[in-house]
Structure 1
């Protein structure tokens, strides 16, 4: 066998069970520069390849130490041989005694005696330097061709020994240099602002330790003009002129980053504002347009502030007339989306045949009368809030389509085959038990959980009667600002407090309108009416005023104003006035505004 090994032109050596070299052929001498007489009988088979003692492939094969094998040869194309049973192979790099770098293909396998017993291990070394060089030259040529092309907007640099050795024209434009050559020889960390130098240093240290460089970094750099820009760099390890280097593609993201930071600043501002509001609302009459100082309303305000500080979906539970839309509008006002639209939708007021068109919009020519592209609710709510009132009235079919849009699956306008997307937040409201609806099969469970992230339960007015005096005072001032009506008699206020208000705050508001008009309180289906007139100004002109006509004139002007502000869109006008569409149509007919 020994004679046979000597005749083979491929470098080979053999070790015994004691890990000492028993044979070192001539080809191995030529490849490594170590003579057989110096190697045989020693365990120094590692010396040609490594700076310090460590097991070579044959040692690991002999010990069956495959776990250690994968650690030592990680990233060196190490694997079990597919040709020779029990053999393992790897590629590695070393310098011979002459200092020349050599790339070698190693293959090691056990040596057996005639009885099949392992008596040692043999390792074969094939010099593949020329092949690797050819591959590297081809790779280098391909890389140069790619980076030299000037048809890309990204800047490209190659870093070797800490310095930039290649740059394209785009990087010069990004960094503010007259020419790409002006960047050559510079250090990337010298261009980076002090707060970000550690990022570049970490990449450099990883590279010097032989770790693969692959990833994206963001940092600030300074131009020769003194202007600072935000940079995004995509980095990867390459071989450049047969030596390791870092290829970096650079993009100017200043505009995007400034917007991102502005959003973060706005979010932080909102958090601070929310903290301030938490302290102030305890001493005020309410939050925004929501009136009430009771403990139950303080708890609601806390939830509103928490909801406003996030971008999660919200669902508001409450009986009719408790002010669910007011709460939704307050969340929008206090959130980072307050520059976007608040789009109110009464889910139960849209006919099933029109609901998809209303939500997703339609293209010109989609149906008879579609003379132009029309935006839907989702388009209008982009970067804003979509308020879905009476969410329990939404059909199962629409729940599926809306769920897809919520989950970034997009939606298609009626008559279009292109998917659109919209960045909207949902605030929903209902006076129903949605869990019962799930059990009855009227609401999808997945749709419910997408909405039920932050639940807010509004108390009925009967559970916060301490707020009734504040509400009465507020409504008198807001409904009749031109009249000196500031209070109601004690007997009337007492009757208000003793009443359970099944219609909640809306009923109280309408009761005050009726009281001002007819001068008495009339609780339907309850105790006899309280015949007390409100306390008016001592001015005789005010006392003799025709309250009925005054109220009607004021109501009519409010309706006309709301119609004009909403382009006579009945749904939005009704929502803006806080009344149902049916009530709006009745009043339009009464005031002859149709």
Structure 2
């Protein structure tokens, strides 16, 4: 292999860089020792067999030759050589074509430079840049790198989101001054920028300014700026504090409002520590005690005591509990209501006790008066209930039987509420009397009690009668006419014979009961009367509901407090009391009296017309001096009793014999009617069965065959 190059073999042989020559076709001509050493060979001869010709890496040979010829200069390319140990050497090759005298390519000379370390360093640098970019992107805040001329050379995603600009618009193109909204901020921050590069210790690292983004949206931000060591660049981290600013404004507004409320509050507010020292007083408290007692003990400066207040709940409050209590203020003995709550610190826990004190003296006095009144009324109620057990009447209602005492109890309960009442009972049992008694016992007792017989109101006039009408509401309405609800405003409307109300009217009444009010005929505005409804019926409303004649919603609105009145035949022990009351009513002189026989006749009659029939019978007795029972003369001994009475009046002789004779005939007649069922006869006579046996034996009564 020839050992020269360009006529200077020593240069080829001793050059510090690798040199090789090849034919234009790619056949290796020779290589110098430097290239052999670079590839790990001991000699050029050994390297000659191992060095791949340059053509191996230059597949586009003709294109290379053409480019080199056209440029008439060295062409730099990168390639790789296989080393003796199997490794790879990265190389930078400077290619030159040596030509014949006729200009044709003679051979190719390649100068080979080992750039492996440089490539490794470049890769490391690239990896370092990638890692740096990754850290830069994930700083958590908007971050930029600022050059000395204020150009932003690097911006992370956070800064792009904050400003609305893209990376291409920012990096290398935008100066940071473009995002400053306020001219005063711009002047201040420009001064900081240049002084930071001269007098770093005299420039603040953190400051606030108003940032303007792509669409001109202004944001309050805080920036922290530091110099990058060894450079003229600075790094700035920017945090959006708009929400914090708003929160601060809201907090200041809230504090201002709270201070205004506290100072305008007429009650007392103060804060004290665990040793009772006052740290805050509101204006009202200062005005009350005549000074600012801050720093003094609360029990001394506020309450004039020498020791802590006996009602103080400091121990509970300093465990984190809010406590409410009432006390009488020393000095003027006025009642006060207090709320003591803990003052909390996030790190130190409970640091104080805040107490709000309100003067409730008038309210407390009224409350105590109400309690005293309630206690009095309760005692009065108990006394009344006790008296009712012994009383023979309740208002205008006469009777002391157990069933009537239960009715009296229900009247008391109904009178204590404003709920709707339904009274069930046969005709003549005194349903209206019970309704009036409930009205009189209630808080509406001083207002009107308006009774309405629903069965007597024509159906086509029912709406106008209940709700009234206004002048001109229909043909012939020449004046306003108030209805039943208008008359009963503030009082009680008694609806007797409720079962006679039509379904259409039930719907209209239901609207009133549910608070919707009513509209008088011809009117436009609704009226909502304050009226209590007490209804009465001698029919079974539950059965009418099942039959569909009473609406369910109407039934349940009416059927709130039910009261059941027993027929007179179920409370016979009240008949003498009722008869005596009616005698006094129709014979105030007291001359007319019932004999024992007549009382027995009244007791044994079944009274289908109930109390009303009894009253009519007594009135007839006073007027005609004759005890007549209308209707079936054979009801429960009426005929036999009358016959016995007539016989008793005709009897001459001893009274005892006459009484015994009457008793024998009377008892015998009852036994015959009961077919000698002694239990039934004893019940009808109102005596015990044993007593009846003794009478049968004493009177010598025999059963007719």
Structure 1 pair 366/259, CA: closer, same or farther in 2 (3 Å)? farther
Residues of 2 paired with 1:437 and 1:250: CA distance?
A: 58
| Conservation of the 8 A alpha-carbon contact between 2:484 and 2:493 | no
Where does residue 595 of structure 2 map in the other structure? 489
* Deviation readout 1:38-63 (Å, 9 max, x if unpaired): xxxxxxxxxxxxxxxxxxxxxxxxxx
Identify which of 288, 311, 333 aligns with 2:395.
Answer: 288
Pairwise CA distance, 1:298: 2.7
* Deviation readout 1:512-534 (Å, 9 max, x if unpaired): 1122222213322333695989x
| Conservation of the 8 A alpha-carbon contact between 2:270 and 2:282 | no
Tell me whether 1:510 sits opposite 2:641 in the alignment. Answer: no
Structure 1 pair 322/373, CA: closer, same or farther in 2 (3 Å)? closer
Pairwise CA distance, 1:316: 1.3
Where does residue 325 of structure 1 map in the other structure? 432
Q: What secondary structure sits across from 2:573 in the alignment?
A: helix
Pairwise CA distance, 1:434: 0.4
Where does residue 377 of structure 1 map in the other structure? 485
Residues of 1 paired with 2:497 and 2:292: CA distance?
A: 63
Residues of 1 paired with 2:502 and 2:360: CA distance?
A: 47
Where does residue 631 of structure 2 map in the other structure? 525
Where does residue 136 of structure 1 map in the other structure? 251
Structure 1 pair 129/245, CA: closer, same or farther in 2 (3 Å)? farther
Structure 1 pair 452/272, CA: closer, same or farther in 2 (3 Å)? farther
* Deviation readout 1:182-223 (Å, 9 max, x if unpaired): 9998999x79xxxxx999979x98899599x9xxx9989989
Residues of 2 paired with 1:420 and 1:199: CA distance?
A: 52
Pairwise CA distance, 1:473: 0.6
Where does residue 537 of structure 2 map in the other structure? 430
Tell me whether 1:298 sits opposite 2:405 in the alignment. Answer: yes
Larger radius of gyration: 2
| 1:194-273 pair list within 5 angstroms | 209=320, 269-273=376-380
Where does residue 112 of structure 1 map in the other structure? none
| Conservation of the 8 A alpha-carbon contact between 2:586 and 2:622 | no
Pairwise CA distance, 1:503: 0.8
| Conservation of the 8 A alpha-carbon contact between 1:167 and 1:180 | no
* Deviation readout 1:138-173 (Å, 9 max, x if unpaired): 34456678899x9xxx969877779897989xxx7x
* Deviation readout 1:432-471 (Å, 9 max, x if unpaired): 0101111222111122222223322111111222221111
Where does residue 471 of structure 1 map in the other structure? 578
| Conservation of the 8 A alpha-carbon contact between 2:335 and 2:360 | no
Where does residue 504 of structure 2 map in the other structure? 397
Residues of 1 paired with 2:310 and 2:497: CA distance?
A: 54
Q: Which moved more, 1:341-350 or 1:388-397?
A: 341-350
Q: TM-score, normalised by structure 1?
A: 0.51
Pairwise CA distance, 1:225: 7.8
Q: What secondary structure sits across from 1:399 in the alignment?
A: helix
Tell me whether 1:4 sits opposite 2:135 in the alignment. Answer: yes
Residues of 1 paired with 2:534 and 2:279: CA distance?
A: 53
How many residues end up aligned between the 2 structures?
393
Residues of 1 paired with 2:567 and 2:505: CA distance?
A: 30
| Conservation of the 8 A alpha-carbon contact between 2:270 and 2:279 | yes
Residues of 2 paired with 1:441 and 1:127: CA distance?
A: 69
| Conservation of the 8 A alpha-carbon contact between 1:296 and 1:459 | yes
Where does residue 175 of structure 2 map in the other structure? none
Pairwise CA distance, 1:253: 11
Structure 1 pair 5/362, CA: closer, same or farther in 2 (3 Å)? farther
| Conservation of the 8 A alpha-carbon contact between 2:468 and 2:521 | yes
Residues of 1 paired with 2:312 and 2:515: CA distance?
A: 36
Tell me whether 1:499 sits opposite 2:630 in the alignment. Answer: no
| 1:43-122 pair list within 5 angstroms | none
Identify which of 494, 511, 518 aligns with 1:387.
Answer: 494
Structure 1 pair 272/139, CA: closer, same or farther in 2 (3 Å)? same
Residues of 2 paired with 1:227 and 1:310: CA distance?
A: 34
* Deviation readout 1:108-141 (Å, 9 max, x if unpaired): xxxxxxxxxxxxxxxx998965442122123445
Pairwise CA distance, 1:9: 6.7
| Conservation of the 8 A alpha-carbon contact between 1:324 and 1:458 | yes
Q: What secondary structure sits across from 1:426 in the alignment?
A: strand
* Deviation readout 1:480-500 (Å, 9 max, x if unpaired): 32x223522333323322321
Q: What secondary structure sits across from 1:348 in the alignment?
A: helix
Q: What secondary structure sits across from 2:562 in the alignment?
A: strand
| Conservation of the 8 A alpha-carbon contact between 1:346 and 1:390 | yes
Pairwise CA distance, 1:6: 9.6
Q: What secondary structure sits across from 1:421 in the alignment?
A: coil
Pairwise CA distance, 1:302: 3.1
Tell me whether 1:443 sits opposite 2:574 in the alignment. Answer: no
Residues of 2 paired with 1:448 and 1:491: CA distance?
A: 46
Where does residue 38 of structure 1 map in the other structure? none
Q: What secondary structure sits across from 1:338 in the alignment?
A: coil
Q: TM-score, normalised by structure 2?
A: 0.44
| Conservation of the 8 A alpha-carbon contact between 1:267 and 1:336 | no
Structure 1 pair 142/294, CA: closer, same or farther in 2 (3 Å)? closer
Q: Which moved more, 1:466-475 or 1:417-426?
A: 417-426
Q: What secondary structure sits across from 1:442 in the alignment?
A: coil
